Structure 1
Amino acid sequence: MTTSRDTPSAAPGGATGPAASGPGTPGVGRGLLFLMSVATGLAVAGNYLAHPLLERVSGALGTTPAAAALIVTAAQAGYGAGLLLVVPLADIVERRRLAVGLLAAAAVGLAASAAAPSLPVLLATTVATAFASAAAQVLVGTGAGMAAPVDRGRVVGAMMSGLLTGVLLARVVSGALAEVGGWTAPYWTAAVLLAAVAAALRLAMPRSVPAEPDHGRPGYPALLASTVGLLAREPVLGVRASMAALSSAGYMGMWTGLALLLGGPAYGWSTSAIGLFGLLAAAGPVATQVAGRLADGGHVRAVTAAGAAAIAAAWAVLSGAAEALPLLVAGLLLADVGQALVLNSSQNVLFALRPDVRNRVNSIFMTVFFGGGALGAGVAGSLWGAWGWNGVVALGATAALGVVVLWAVDRRRRTPR
């Protein structure tokens, strides 16, 4: 394996070392980009396996659907913690070893979830698995650093498309596998696949050693302090992270409410049918690819505006969708596209903001993003118990309003690109 160092080069835009490589070069060839995208998708897929299974899990473990919805919250919270505590390490340690080790740990966590005898145990293993699945953002940051500035939008778009495809297929395949082998079957399957892709990455991914000598690297406490401090030092990061967090809160709240709505008395769908409904979320990966190309063309602000508008329109449609399947479909499509556009455009702005601490910027951004998702999922479960679908809509509409307000704030700033 070759060793790449993140040493400065003359590449424009602050690219360093392998950052001068595009998707068609040895730094991040098409095959490697595909494998890294698959690994990214599988890493996060385990966090979404439970979405169509809430009714089935509640029955198997002797709890209520509202309590089972805490699995969604646990996954988001665990992932957010991993993003904050693990991803910054990619700025100071060898990234292949970090990514592969995390993927292997996530595979073990999925197997432990499949063997969980009770909801508390399942919640604990879910948090542990999600924590390790932060490997996804280690890979995204690595890919962004390997890409030339003119290709970064496409590379990030490809990897985030892989991530969103993993989320999509997790919901679809999970429901189908549960129909055949019970609620544990999706977890066992994901554990095996994740272990296999970790082994493949160990062979295919080049080593990437930080440029700083050992004595010049910050210690772990200083690393975390500098990561959190970026929110105060970089106003653009704060605005973009808050916007993404609100979009995630509404989006994860929507999926929590949809699983309970479709599996409840109003629709009475099976887990496989709920999973297949998730195929509609295929609009997200497509939108992410388009957003990446538009960002490379200098239209990142227009992409953000389109995302904010789509999110607002989604909740206007979903407000009348409790017993109207066509409106549910339309609202889901709008929400999915809006979420993808806001996320991808924000990442493209932030990856260009501070190339020297790219992983720390991505860490704090994605921590806030998934923290919003965890909060949204948890609140949606509580609101469902009190007011049903109307409570979920109130949450989503409030979050959408916040996204629009922050978009207006960001529009007044001179953000990169």
Structure 2
Amino acid sequence: MSAPSRDSSSTHDHDRHPHYSRGTLWLLATIAGVSVANIYFNQPLLGDFRASFPESAWLIGAVPASTQLGYALGMLLLAPLGDRFDRRLLILLQLAALGVSLIFAASAPSLVVLIAASLAIGVVSTIAQQAVPFSAELAPAAERGHAVGTVMSGLLLGILLARTVSGFVAQYLGWRAVFYASVLATVALAAIVIARLPKSRPTSTLPYGKLLGTMWHLAVENPALREAATTGGALFAAFSIFWSVLTLLLAGEPFHMGPQAAGLFGIVGAAGALAAPLAGKSADRRGPRAVISLCIGLVAVSFVVFAFSARSIAGLVVGVIVLDVGVQAAQISNQSRIYALKPEARSRVNTVYMVAYFIGGALGSALASLAWHALGWTGVCLAGLAATGLAAFSHWRGGRR
């Protein structure tokens, strides 16, 4: 009797999730990776931007800062729409807007236009925040974790490889070619979405204003969420401080390296991807707070290593590995904490967290530019340590509640 029961259950489950397949998961993973890569393409290109717009060299740091600020705005204003409208339609509309924004960036006649286009790219690159909850909707409950993990792996690969791809393309074809190539990738992806991605089922009838309002209440009513958001945002600020000026360091004495070399550091950062599953297991076993404390220490150590590596590629490589492991492991542990706060509102809780996360990244990029022009590499390392100190204070204060 048991065998027919299993077959019946499996068939019934398939009937309720007819669009769930490995191919659909990998398509969503590709959507997440290709879209999120656009907010990191500009980081290895800062030296090229400075060469193209020398009269505005002091504003170069505003390019990555505006992209990350745009991503935070997109998270706040666009991500909640997935509960209200068909996510397939939202993904297509955002891909169209992304293509237009990339064209403006590729053809920018001035740094001001490039900054404005970068802000728009950040806003509409939040497509990944539709892809991840879409995978959870399509999957049966027993496979939901696997589905979300698959799409998140695509997002992580997009983050890690974006700088590498950007650096290689810019080295041989110039920085404008990076954005034009992304336009082609965006158009191809939109065609595949039209052909292969199913529609989603909206789960809320709340008006747009009320959707946004519920996130404010979640932040106000959950001190643990505020603490996690502050800690995560400060750590991502430290992360952005380093990556935002690495190209400028490598372009000068004694390295004289182009954007390709800066892009290769993205491959080194793959250590963070290896740390993610280990961090999740450690958070389950020892508790996420202990893991986050360790991660804050690792990020602090990385900036001490950077401070002594202004003329050492080997030192920079070691520092990148320690930095990426610390930030990625802290991210996984922080998310495991916040998802347990309000299981019925995980998308909105995640939106609150990620908005703060990318605001931290934007502030970090802006601070990095100021520190670089004021005190050089030493100033950058001090800024990174200051951001890490803010993360430590937030985490310590949360533990005393």
TM-score, normalization by structure 2? 0.88
Picking from 163, 169, 172, the partner of 1:177 is 169
User: Could you tell me whether the CA contact under 8 Å between 1:312 and 1:404 is conserved in 2?
Assistant: no
Aligned mates of 1:28, 1:399 — CA distance in 2 = 42
Give aligned pairs, total: 388
Aligned mates of 1:61, 1:194 — CA distance in 2 = 27
Flag the 1:398–1:146 CA change in 2: closer, same or farther, 3 A: farther
2:98 is the counterpart of 1:110:
no
Aligned mates of 1:411, 1:144 — CA distance in 2 = 31
2:174 is the counterpart of 1:186:
no
The superposition leaves residues 93-131 of structure 1 with CA deviations (integer Å, 9 ceiling, x where unpaired) of 222211222123212211221111111111111111110
2:364 is the counterpart of 1:371:
no
Letter in 2 for 1:327: G
Residue 341 of structure 1 is matched in structure 2 by: 329
User: Could you tell me whether the CA contact under 8 Å between 2:236 and 2:361 is conserved in 1?
Assistant: yes
Q: Shift in Å at residue 286 of structure 1?
A: 2.4
RMSD over aligned CA atoms reads 2.6
User: Could you tell me whether the CA contact under 8 Å between 1:150 and 1:296 is conserved in 2?
Assistant: no
Flag the 1:211–1:45 CA change in 2: closer, same or farther, 3 A: closer
SS of residue paired to 2:218: helix
Q: After the TM superposition, which residues 252-401 of structure 1 pair with which residues of structure 2 at under 5 Å, given as runs?
A: 252-292=240-280, 300-401=288-389
Once structures 1 and 2 are overlaid, which stretch shifts more, 312-321 or 188-197? 312-321
Letter in 2 for 1:264: G
Residue 50 of structure 2 is matched in structure 1 by: 58
Letter in 1 for 2:195: L
Once structures 1 and 2 are overlaid, which stretch shifts more, 311-320 or 116-125? 311-320
Q: Shift in Å at residue 168 of structure 1?
A: 2.2
The superposition leaves residues 277-301 of structure 1 with CA deviations (integer Å, 9 ceiling, x where unpaired) of 2221111222234434556778544
Aligned mates of 2:101, 2:342 — CA distance in 1 = 33
Larger Rg: 2
Letter in 1 for 2:38: G
User: Could you tell me whether the CA contact under 8 Å between 1:254 and 1:392 is conserved in 2?
Assistant: yes
Q: Shift in Å at residue 150 of structure 1?
A: 7.0
Structure 1 stretches of 5 or more lacking a match? 1-20
User: Could you tell me whether the CA contact under 8 Å between 1:157 and 1:344 is conserved in 2?
Assistant: no
Flag the 1:353–1:196 CA change in 2: closer, same or farther, 3 A: farther
Aligned mates of 2:284, 2:144 — CA distance in 1 = 7
Residue 221 of structure 1 is matched in structure 2 by: 209
Aligned mates of 2:132, 2:294 — CA distance in 1 = 24
Structure 2 stretches of 5 or more lacking a match? 1-12
SS of residue paired to 2:200: strand
Residue 126 of structure 1 is matched in structure 2 by: 118
TM-score, normalization by structure 1? 0.85
SS of residue paired to 1:344: helix
SS of residue paired to 1:285: helix
Letter in 1 for 2:386: T
Letter in 2 for 1:340: Q
Residue 72 of structure 1 is matched in structure 2 by: 64
Aligned mates of 2:62, 2:243 — CA distance in 1 = 13
SS of residue paired to 2:130: helix
User: Could you tell me whether the CA contact under 8 Å between 1:153 and 1:295 is conserved in 2?
Assistant: no
Letter in 1 for 2:364: G
User: Could you tell me whether the CA contact under 8 Å between 1:161 and 1:286 is conserved in 2?
Assistant: no
Q: Compare the two structures and name the one with the higher helix fraction.
A: 2
User: Could you tell me whether the CA contact under 8 Å between 2:44 and 2:246 is conserved in 1?
Assistant: no
Flag the 1:317–1:40 CA change in 2: closer, same or farther, 3 A: same
Flag the 1:250–1:313 CA change in 2: closer, same or farther, 3 A: same
Residue 28 of structure 2 is matched in structure 1 by: 36
